[in-house]
């Protein structure tokens, strides 16, 4: 396999020459054509889909033991018809060949060529992971999708005949479980699969496959949006414009990566904080409003987020209420840049230099010296709420 001849391309995916697989992946690498195949099945008695995921073998030179989509490889000049570009048929033939080689999927019955659909392409490069060595990836990656017909038995024990030299493990996975794993530990995925998630392409692929599986009326428009370029005309390779070839796209992917890392840090901090409002209270309130937090129906962390947001809101209201009390009692609100610069009238003293009663020293019920104890009133609270455009009126019996 190391001597298979890959198709070397330029930044616009125009074929330039051929090079061995080793040459394409060594040191800086050569930009070459590749594919990522996504095989879906419809969950029995459900409209939801699952994606067939594979864990790469630990003996792989590049990205060993990482999880990724169903099958990833290259069209090669060694195999008849894989260089043909019309309707991306050469790449689709390569996907058929490698799915059978790696996973034992029968291309004559289970993965027909007409059921492999080319959606779009991305360009990416990455040094090897998790082991740092002289190998890399540098590819124009064709994203191919196939939705298994209901007649195909998708049970892994019968559907697959895994080549252990290529694949360490397989599983069917829902989109939400993939995203949860990505947030918690994105590094278990290959770099191209991470990029597909960060660019929002995985969600679009799931939507496309779902519309295809259910023969939805939305399928035609989704198919057109996914597979046609901005000119709305299919290209010689099947239609999809090249995504990720510009600096802007790479910058957007980098920003998405930063956003994901920030989100991961938020989740970690949420797990460590115990809010004053118990999670079970927020859960009851959310479920009474129709939000389901059961496994498979929602994210239980939403209750913790609501608890923290509620606690922050109440704290802000109390802080504003205290500020209104300070204003009404002539106290420093803390809003001045340098409150110590404000001169206060010194307390009167008797002939011995002691403060007169009521003007200094600590009096019963007067708080600290010269400052009465806070006694928040309904008027202070109503003023704080009005500041936030929350109209609250006192009940008639208070008037």
| pLDDT tens digits, 176-230 | 999 999 988 889 999 999 999 988 899 989 988 888 877 755 554 555 444 433 3
Domain residues of the chain, as ranges? 5-227, 264-329+375-398
The mean pLDDT of the chain is 79
Residue 215 region by backbone torsions, left for phi larger than 0, else alpha for psi between -120 and 50, else beta: left
pLDDT-based confidence at residue 261 (cuts at 50, 70, 90)? low
- pLDDT at residue 333, as a whole number: 56
pLDDT mean over 107-135: 89
With cut-offs at 50, 70 and 90, classify the pLDDT of residue 255.
low
Nearest to 3 by CA among 78, 62, 59: 78
The answer to whether 245 touches 123, Cβ cutoff 8 Å, is yes
Tell me the residue length of the chain.
Answer: 399
pLDDT at 388: 83
Q: Which residue has the higher pLDDT, 134 or 295?
A: 134
Catalytic positions, written as ranges: 72, 139
**Pairing of the two strands 242-243 and 117-127:** parallel
Neighbours of 257 (CB within 10 A): 15
pLDDT at 340 over 80: no
Supply the pLDDT for residue 294: 67
Work out the average pLDDT over 2-28: 90
Contact 113, 238 (CB under 8 A): no
Over 90: is that where the pLDDT of 363 sits? no
Instruction: Please determine, looking at this structure, whether the domain spanning 5-227 carries the CATH number 3.40.50.300.
Output: no
Model-level pTM? Answer: 0.59
């Amino acid at each position: 396999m190391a001597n298979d001849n890959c198709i070397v391309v330029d930044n616009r995916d125009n074929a330039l020459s051929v090079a061995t697989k080793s040459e394409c992946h060594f040191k800086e690498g050569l930009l070459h054509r590749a594919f990522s195949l996504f095989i879906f099945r419809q969950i029995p008695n459900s409209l939801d889909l699952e994606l067939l995921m594979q864990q790469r073998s630990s003996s792989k030179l590049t990205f060993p033991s990482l999880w990724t989509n169903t099958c990833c490889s290259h069209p090669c000049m060694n195999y008849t018809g894989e260089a043909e570009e019309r309707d991306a048929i050469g790449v689709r033939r390569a996907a058929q060949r490698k799915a059978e080689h790696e996973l034992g999927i029968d291309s004559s019955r289970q993965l027909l060529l007409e059921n492999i659909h080319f959606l779009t392409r991305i360009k990416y490069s990455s040094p090897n992971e998790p082991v740092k060595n002289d190998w890399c990836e540098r590819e124009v990656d064709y994203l191919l999708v196939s939705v298994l017909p209901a007649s195909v038995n998708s049970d892994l024990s019968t559907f697959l005949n895994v080549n252990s030299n290529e694949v360490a493990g397989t599983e069917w996975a829902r989109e939400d479980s993939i995203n949860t794993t990505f947030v918690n530990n994105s590094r278990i995925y290959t770099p191209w699969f991470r990029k597909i998630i960060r660019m929002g392409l995985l969600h679009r692929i799931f939507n496309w496959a779902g519309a295809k599986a259910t023969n939805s009326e939305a399928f035609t428009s989704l198919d057109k949006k996914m597979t046609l370029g901005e000119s709305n005309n299919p290209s010689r390779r099947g239609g999809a414009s090249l995504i990720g070839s510009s600096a802007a796209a790479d910058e957007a992917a980098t920003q998405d990566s930063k956003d994901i890392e920030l989100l991961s840090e938020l989740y970690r901090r949420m797990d460590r904080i115990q809010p004053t409002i118990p999670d079970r209270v927020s859960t009851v309130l959310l479920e009474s409003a129709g939000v389901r937090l059961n496994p498979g129906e929602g994210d239980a962390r939403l209750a913790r987020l609501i608890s923290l947001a509620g606690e922050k809101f109440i704290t802000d209201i109390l802080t504003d209420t205290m500020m209104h009390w300070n204003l009404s009692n002539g106290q420093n609100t803390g809003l001045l840049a340098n409150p110590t610069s404000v001169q206060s009238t010194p307390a009167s003293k008797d002939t011995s230099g002691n403060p007169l009663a009521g003007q200094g020293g600590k009096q019963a019920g007067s708080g600290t010296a010269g400052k009465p104890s806070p006694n928040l009133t309904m008027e202070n609270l109503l003023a704080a709420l009005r500041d936030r455009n929350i109209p609250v009126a006192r009940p008639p019996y208070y008037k």
